[in-house]
Amino acid sequence: MHYIDSHTAGEPTRVIIDGGPALGSGTINERLARLRTNHDDFRQTVINEPRGSDALVGALLCEPDDPSCEAGVIFFNNAGYLGMCGHGAIGVAVTLGYLDRIGLGKFRLQTPVGVIEVDRRTEHQIAIENVRSYRYKKAVVVDVDGHGPIEGDIAWGGNWFFLCKEIGIEIAQTNIRKLTDLAGLVRRSLRAQDITGEGGQEIDHIEFFGPAENANAHSRNFVYCPGGAYDRSPCGTGTSAKVACLATEGVLSPGEEWVQESVIGSVFQVSYQRCETDGVIPTVVGEAYICGKGELIQQDGDLFRNGIPSEACV
């Protein structure tokens, strides 16, 4: 399998450009179902150690079933499959440019949760017009074992998020272990108390907020991902969920820019336009850089030819 690695604001993406499993025809969601059911060893091989890491997000390029799209993409990580990945979409765009498959300007990318419009503004700066994002519930209180009650909003930005402001821990790199432990407790408590996204969907991302350190940013966040790793970037889908909440509160106007800083200090710029129905269409701007390319090899007799099973999922 041939791959190209990039990072978006510090968060890695591995794009498989050749050698992935044959998924047949049909819609992108039908092919995702085949990948999940019949070829999950592919996901584990790409993502898990010794070839990958818990922080890595994979992206399998495939033919779109929507003819208006330049490419289709299925995102995955150490826990399973993602409907959408903001930093990953930016990484895919930079990778397609590196391969000379696209030039500067706009194109469309098909994901399992919808089509996004991508604007390759420069070699590294990408703007993605994300899927419809919205706040589902406001000020939901979850009783967290060993910590006490935590209040947060439930919102969709391509994945489900529980967004919390007051947690009593500074959003800083020196506190990553504490933040990770608390976020894991929050997610387990949401499950135990049957607090979900719309239609009973699991809330698999936890997002904490605090004051920004960058003078040009509006807030700093910590995002806990489904497989137990934290997002090094400000998280494209998480930032989309955030602006959906800000829009609902009337704090951020259409077209107004929000600068979201990550726990490691990188930033995304985001603005939105209102949907004809409820919710917003966010535009997330970030930078990605190519940082590696190569071939993944599996040899007979290797006990870990399909990767070391991840135990990070909580």
* Burial of residue 43, with CB atoms counted within 10 A of its CB: 0-12 exposed, 13-18 middle, 19 or more buried: buried
What does the buried/exposed string (b/e) look like for 297-309 if buried means 16 or more CB atoms within 10 Å of the residue's CB?
eeeeeeeeebbee
Give the list of residues 6+ apart from residue 221 with CB closer than 8 angstroms, or none: 171, 207, 208, 209, 210, 234, 235, 238, 239, 242, 260, 261, 262, 263
Catalytic residue list: 85, 235
Beta bridge partners of 14: 5, 58
What is the distance between the alpha carbons of residues 270 and 128, in angstroms, rounded to a whole number?
9
CB burial string 103-142: b at 16+ within 10 A, e below:
eeeebbbbbbbebbbbbbeeebbbbbbbbbbbbbeeebeb
User: What distance in Å separates the CA atoms of residue 150 and residue 139, rounded to the nearest whole number?
Assistant: 9
